[in-house]
Amino acid sequence: MYQPSANIQSLIAGFSAEDGDKIRQALSILDHASGRISGQGDNFRPTGLEVAMVLTSVNIDAEVILATLLSDSRLAGQTSEAAIKQQFGATVAALVKDVWWLNKLSIYSPEMANQPNQSEILRRMLLAMTHDVRAVLIKLAYRIQRLRNLGVEEPAIRQFIARETLDIYAPLANRLGISQFKWELEDLAFRYLDPDHYFAIAKSLANNRRQRETCIQAFQDMLQQKLADEGITAKVYGRPKHIYSIWNKMRNKHRNIDELYDLLAVRVIVDNLSSCYTVLGIVHSHWRYIPKEFDDYIANPKKNGYQSLHTVVMDGQGNRIEVQIRSRAMHEFAELGVAAHWCYKEGRKYNAAAEKNIASLRQLLDDRDGNENLIENFRTELFSDRVFVLTPGGKLIDLIKGATPLDFAYAIHTEIGHGCRGAKVDGQIRPLTYKLHSGEQIEIIAVKNGQPNHNWLDPNLGYLATPRAISKVKSWFKQQKFAENIVAGKQVLEKESKRLALKTVDLPDLLRHFKFTEADQLYEALGRGDLNNRQLAAALRIPELEPESIKLVAPQISPKAIVTVAGIDNVVTTLALCCSPVYGEEIIGFISHKRGITIHRRDCENIRNLPAEQQEQLIDAEWSGSHAARHTVPVIIHAFNAQNLLSDVSQLLSAVKVHISDASLKTHDDLSAILSLSIQVENTQQLSLVLARISQLPNILEVRRKT
């Protein structure tokens, strides 16, 4: 068996004897395959041993070390997943498979730098398609070693690798809370992308390093002594600065390196919350501080949960020193890889689900004994509800799990979705109901000026899963119906005008009367039947019809003695069906020469539109007598799904003891429905209660009293 070198001995240190033997076995496989165990890999690619040494800095477990060694590119084609599984176990074999996939992935293109959303989708895809997220850590370590070796490669390759690192891999390291990986990835990538600024900053830091170290050490010693004098236990240490971070601050704040406050920075870690403010008071009492540079993120945490006190003070030599003060719990939350860490650094919103996963990851990194439950979480939770697929041109599309080629077509463009007639998935024809998987490339077969199919909206057929696509299809059918109603409405108006022998129609006057702002709204209402011919005739103000306009009300015998007319309570009245007045509403009587007195609501449209000569037939009326009488009220219910609508409404009304005297259900092609009811209520309070309860039923879009 292979005798370990100093590096290999360092790699094995800390593991059990059993794990150490397995690592030696993996090294022997590498040794046999290549005849060498260290140094540059083929084409300057990192070796498994080099990458494993990178991973030791994050206290990774033996399974990850084994997977790292066995994913060495020199073993490609010389060992199989089955052989690895047999000798090292299923977990190691699965990790190796994921790392091989990650190392072969070549989706990134420099154009993504100008499309931040594409970079984010690719980052999510990397996490979604790895069964165990620890494979991503191995990939990050591979990238670090690749960057360390990058100086010997061609300039074009250096630029591409460095750009990809800043766009994809450094944010991933940040997201996973591995700060030492993030800093090194950023600094090495920046070195190759912008060497002039990189070396200028590096030189400036080197020139002033001794001065900074002396300044920081003196400040630390003095602060540590002041805290000890007050009986406060605290850890005080200098906070390292990184070249890429400095460069970003120089650009964002438009300052030279000498003008940045936090090049001189210390961090104070205390035991509890109250000690944070005690330390702040001590700092401000012994050093002059700059008020505008003070931030209390404890009292006012960032949206992502980040908490700390930030202040900038001046020492005796006039140096500006940033001091961060936080409790141990805050420090762990900010620095040890939980979600708030990457949310804060990337400026993203707090995400509880992501925090759970990243916190679990950190536990995996800190526990070499491993935890099967945590590992299983990573296999099932990270972006498990998403699929990431590609267009033929290589653009990444992020969809929900269960999405189909038809969903993909609508995600590209609405017209492509409407015209979709087939799809190829990885070059093979698939049905439009096929469930997509991450990493697949989709090509849509579409026709010009295509129209969606009603079957696409049937959830049982499985054509669509994404709300956006479903909405686009529904909108198309609604628009077609809208256009049909406009044509029909124009025909209604034209026919009514001819019947009344009108030479012209005052369209603006009609729009004002019905309170529409556009002619198409009027035409649609006429075509849909919301406005009938009598209402149209009344609005047209035809003299010979005006005396009869009130006759659109079919009389209904009112309960005895519930209405008083002009102070008389024994007058026979009828309740108008056009407005169906209910006890409690303001009413008025209309004296008809043929039907006696008809009772209307005062805001009834027919009453408001009476011509001047008929207004003399109005008479005061009010409710009186027995109030237990029931009134028939028409109600209109709009729902976006007809299923169980009538049953749900009937059960509700039965529960509140409201009788239904008439019901009519009309369904549409998009599965929406209109339910027209006539219900018996005692007063307006009962009516309001009923309408409110109906509105809370599932699938209800609108419920209103028909006017």
User: In this predicted structure, which of 124-133, 314-323, 377-386, 436-445 has the lowest mean pLDDT?
Assistant: 377-386
Q: Which CA distances in Å does 276 have to 146, 315, 327, 328, 437?
A: 42, 20, 7, 10, 49
Torsion 92-97-99-100 (CA) sign: positive
The one-letter code for the residue type at 121 is I
Sequence-separated (6 or more) residues with CB below 8 Å from residue 321: 215, 216, 219, 261, 264, 265, 266, 287, 312, 313, 314, 315
- Distance between CA 273 and CA 330 in Å, rounded? 9
99-113, 467-481, 576-590, 640-654: which is most confident = 467-481
H helical segments located in 254-299: 273-286
The mean pLDDT value for 65-84 works out to: 84
* Cβ atoms of residues 398 and 460 within 8 Å: no
Six token digits for residue 117: 């959303």
Torsion 269-134-245-359 (CA) sign: negative
- Distance between CA 664 and CA 577 in Å, rounded? 17
Assign 236 to helix, strand or coil: strand
Q: How far apart are the first and last CA of the chain?
A: 92
Q: What is the pLDDT of residue 410?
A: 94
Write down the residue that tokens 């040494």 correspond to.
Answer: 53
Buried-state track 369-381, b at ≥16 Cβ within 10 A, e below 16: eeeeebbebbeee
Q: How confident is the model at residue 144 (pLDDT cuts 50, 70, 90)?
A: very high
Which residue, 358, 342, 359, 361, is CA-closest to 350? 342
Q: What is the pLDDT of residue 40?
A: 42
Q: What is the pLDDT of residue 598?
A: 85
- Distance between CA 33 and CA 78 in Å, rounded? 8
Kindly report, residue by residue over 455-497, the tens digit of the pLDDT. 898 888 899 999 889 989 988 888 888 888 888 888 888 888 8
140-144, 493-497, 566-570: which is most confident = 140-144
Q: Identify which has the larger pLDDT, 133 or 480.
A: 480
* Cβ atoms of residues 565 and 597 within 8 Å: yes
Kindly report, residue by residue over 367-384, the tens digit of the pLDDT. 444 444 444 444 434 445
Q: Which CA distances in Å does 215 have to 442, 464, 471, 580, 619?
A: 60, 64, 63, 87, 96
Environment class of 105 (CB within 10 Å of its CB; exposed 0-12, middle 13-18, buried 19+): middle
Q: Identify which has the larger pLDDT, 704 or 358.
A: 704
Six token digits for residue 668: 């549409």
- Distance between CA 335 and CA 661 in Å, rounded? 68
Domains and CATH numbers, the chain: 6-178 (1.10.3210.10), 208-336 (3.30.460.10), 386-463 (3.10.20.30), 476-541 (no CATH), 550-623 (no CATH), 631-705 (3.30.70.260)
The H-or-E segment that residue 468 falls in is helix 467-499
The mean pLDDT value for 350-355 works out to: 47
Sequence-separated (6 or more) residues with CB below 8 Å from residue 177: 336, 337, 338, 341, 342, 358, 361, 362
Expressed in percent and rounded to 5, the helix, strand and coil fractions of the chain are 50, 15, 30
Six token digits for residue 539: 């609005």
